[in-house]
Structure formats: structure tokens, C-alpha cells
Structure 1
Amino acid sequence: MRGSAPAPIRPLATNLTQRVLDAAGLIILGKGRELRLALACLLARGHLLIEDLPGVGKTTLAHLLARLLGLQYSRIQFTSDLLPADVIGVSVYEREHERFRFHPGPVFAQLVLADEINRATPKAQSALLEAMEERQVTVDGETRQLPEPFFVIATQNPSYQIGTFPLPESQLDRFLMRIRLGYPPAAQEKVLLAGEDRRIMVEHQVPVLSVGELAALQASVTQVHAAASIIDYCLAILQFTRRSERFVHGLSPRAGVGLLRAAKAWALLEDRAYVLPEDLQAVLPSCCIHRLVSGDGNGRLDHDEVATLILSSVPVP
């Protein structure tokens, strides 16, 4: 499989994506792998969930990607009193025209930050379900398309914090990846403390990719080749999670499709037009962690547990 690999689809893909990663790495310090996963999620046309403590750069990352990619940006602060209409919009009666006029909500943007999504009630959270899956919203019986590209980055605080509501499985499954940023390494944190305010630095950023270049990269992901052995490897991973007593339930077919698509995006970032087992292994924890629940009553598993258990149990082709 390795010896007969096709030629790269886009010779400039690595240069384009590296420009984004280099610029982002100057502001989000010491998080190269997390930035790479976030970009792969976007290229795979998925949505990203970032779960971590307040103050580690979740909101900054979302705003930064919007600036670097020249995307229309919208931020929704999720609170306990948020209503679905606050997200998708509402029709208002205009007396002078004797008709209702739809006022789009903040979800009508190319990059939407759903900040602290688990501080809203499940009813408000559900306002994003159709948007994330179908890239459209239906209000008053009329369906309205969302802009392209459409990318949701949601942040959530740890579930043990006061005032949080757990995300239902149907909502979690709409996210292609879940990542954590964590604290920066000490050396990078020293630079952060001594340097300029990161929020000001983000405001000064200019786009390093056009929307057209981003769309071309997303299209290139679909052309990345996955050999039959790679598809069998992905299928074996899915079947293992469904058979294993360590999980309450296994990965869904939608999770499998997303896992393979994310692996293709990771391969493109590596300047390859074909998927290797290492690509699946690289994205597996982020694509699966939020979809699996421990069968021993301990709740959700961490990245290391999922990666060690699955990758050590499923043979590599």
C-alpha cells in the first residue's frame, strides 16, 4: 500500500495549511497538535468541541481561526436563560408592511462560537442540532440555508462546575472532534505572561487564506484515497467498540464516516493524497472520546484510555 501511493493532490496544500498553523502558533503557544486537530476538523467539514477549564484559550482559538481564515465570525454566549430564538433568529411582525420579517440569529455566520454551551438548557442546546447536521435552519415552516463554509466551535466547562448541563448524546454526536487545550508548557507560559495581550494580537491578525482557498482544501480532503485495508481497519475499530464490554454502546456509522473523513484531512495536512493507519490513529481519540461511555460506571473515558484500549486491541493492517 505504501509503495503504490498516488501523487499528492495539491502540491500547495501543505504550504497553505502551514501558513495557518504558523500564524496560530504565535498566539496559542505550545499547542501545535491541538491546533492541527482543530484545522483538520475544519478541513473535514466537521464541528469542534473544546472542553477545558476557563482561561486556557478556548475562545481565543475560535476567534483566531476566524481572523486567519477571513471568515464571518459570530459568538453566542450560552446561559441558562438562552432561548432557541436567540440562536437561530425570530420572525417579527412589521405593521407598516403588514407581514412578518425574519431576523437571522447569530448562527447565520461562517464560524460560530457557541461559548460555554453546557451552561444552557437542553432546549437551547437543541437549537444547533439541525444547523450542525443539515447546515440549515427551519423557522415557521421555512428552511433557510446557512453560509458556506459553516463551522461551529463550541466550548464547554467541566461538568462538575456549578451551573452546567450535560450535553445529550445527540448533541455530542454532531461534533466531529472533541479536544482539550490544557495548560501551556512553563516556557511558553512565561512568554505569554511577559508578552502582549493575546486578545489584542488576535485583533491585529489578517487572513492568511482566502475563503476560496479554504473551500479548495476542503474539496481536496474528499479526494484523498483510502485503500480497502484502511476501510477494513476503520470498520474493525467500530466493531470492537460495539463488542467490547468496556463501553455502554459502540461507535455509530456516523462516527465511522467522520473518523475516516478526519483521517483524510490529517493525511492532507501531512501532504499525502492517501491515508495511512497512522492517520486514523492520530485522530481516533479526538473523534471517539465524546461518543463513548465507560461500561464500568465511571462515565466518560479520557483520551489516553480510549487510545490505549482500542489501538492495542485492533490489529493494524
Structure 2
Amino acid sequence: MNLRQLGSTGPRVSALGLGAMGMSGMYGPSDEAESVATIHAAMDAGVTLVDTGDFYGMGHNELLIRDALRSSGRARDEVAVSVKFGALRDVDGGFWGNDARPAAVKNFLAYSLRRLGTDYIDIYRPARLDPAVPIEETVGAIAEMIQAGHVRHIGLSEVGAETLRRANAVHPIVDLQIEYSLISRGIEAEILPTARELGIGITAYGVLSRGLISGHWSADRPLAAGDFRGASPRFSADNLGANLALVEALRVIAEAKGVSVAQTAIAWVLAQGEDIVPLVGARTRVRLEEALGALDLKLDAADLRAVEAAMPAEAAAGDRYIAAQMAHLDSEK
């Protein structure tokens, strides 16, 4: 497994990370035994970065990772655990804003440490910017937890360039977790250059746009109850056909190279810079194995031009999230 540095001050981690969100109901029901087996397979393949959120399944995801780490027999320091916090949810699974007050930071952290069964978190980050709390206060509170030994590094998620600068002035930020894929390239104009100027890495989620550009999606695929893609604009009846047409154009390139669409899309993100670590949301060992195959796919300049011509920037139909969730993205303002 190749390693990449998370920013100028962060840890060296595997070139691909595992995003565990889908293992806790966000895409509908999942198989817990298969989820644990997939985490084990990822670690066996050399994946050393696992990403979660304390609100994924209302703590279920952290408990799942705890069980997987314990049953793997591996030492705690063999895996870097990244945790997002702050999203507020109700008993029906709805989202009701974000809380990143210093007191809330320490409260959320205490619960995460207990659920994960560990005494420190490698990278701790607010899931979204809390508009009621200056980012300096949130970062300052996490920095106090670093001093206390409960956190190793500070990350951010879905913030814009100005917020990134303000946060980094308080304490070094090792990475920005943000959506980045062939059809979500908004970070290229300002956010990515700013991160590089400041020595901040990128952990890219949504590299397959939640399965939309994996090559495995179809217009007639049913969605399970609780699958949030049912409300996603890019999966809506009005937009899905146009987006799948982009996938078919990409499939022509992938098949010519003897690889899958998903591997091509992941390899494109990998090729955008050594400071970018894609997070793959594989829920099964089969999908994990496919994703790992992207590490062996080297796209040269001609390949990259062909891929980007097949799926041009700004070509996606529909926003990344529904309007209410887009409003919480500092990165989109």
C-alpha cells in the first residue's frame, strides 16, 4: 500500500481510506458481519485510515468500528481513526443543524472515545461549520483536547477558503474532508489552492458520488427505506438519466483500458495530487476489492484528458444535496 502525507503536519496514511458511513444505515440496511469483515479486509490490504462520524447511525458506526478494531487483533496505532462531530439529529434520523461550541466539542469527544473504546482520536473535525460559533473557538477547543492527549490532529469538513485560513491560524489543520470527484469539482477554483498554500491535505469523499458514477447504478434500481439518495437531486428522475449518460461515456474509456468505471473514477482522484487521499465507501469486500484495484491504474496525461472529456467539470445534473443541506455547506458559499 502506498502512503500519502495528510498535510505538512499530519500522519502518513494509506493512499486510499475507508469511509464507514454506509455501514450504518445511511444507504439503507447493511449487514453488520459483512461490514466488520470489510473493515478487516481493508486493514489486511494496508488501509490505515478509517473515517466515521459520531452521528452515523447515532453512534452505531463508532461501535461497529470499535468491534472491528478489537476483533482484528491489531494494535490501536496501526489505524488512524478520523471522526466528525457536531451534527444534530432526532429520533427519526432527521438533521437539525450543527453544534460546535467548545463545551459541545468536549461533550461529543467524550462520547466518541467511549464508543470507540479508545483513549484518543487521530483526527477530530466538526462535520460542518456552525454559523453561531467562530471557527477559532471550535478549533481552540479541539487544540485543548490535543494538549490533554485525547486528540492527535485537527481536521475540517466542507469549509471554504476563508474559514480554512482562520482555522489554520489558530492551530495547524492537517486535512480538509470535502466532496471531490469527477462530477464534484468545485474545490478546484479556490479551496484546493488555498489548502495547498497552507500545507493542508485533502481527504476526498464522494469519489463515486455515492455510487452514481460507480458503473453499477441503473435508472431502475430501487432504493431501500432510509436510503438518503432517495432525496438526492442527482438521483432524481429529472437528473438521473443525464448523469448516467456521463457514466456510459466514462465506461467506454474504462473498458478500453480493461478496468471498471469505479476504478477509473477513483484513479482520476488519486491522480490529482499526492496531497489528496480518496475515501472509498465500500460496504462489502467485493466493492472494497474493486476500489483497491484503482491503486494499480495509472492514468497518463492523455488518459486524464479523455476521462475529463467524457465527464466534464460542471456537467452533473443536480446539486450535491437538497437545498436545506446545501445551506450548511460553508464550502459552497
Under a length normalisation based on structure 2, what TM-score does the superposition of the two structures give? 0.27
Q: Which has more radius of gyration? A: 1
Q: What TM-score, normalized by structure 1, do the two folds share?
A: 0.28
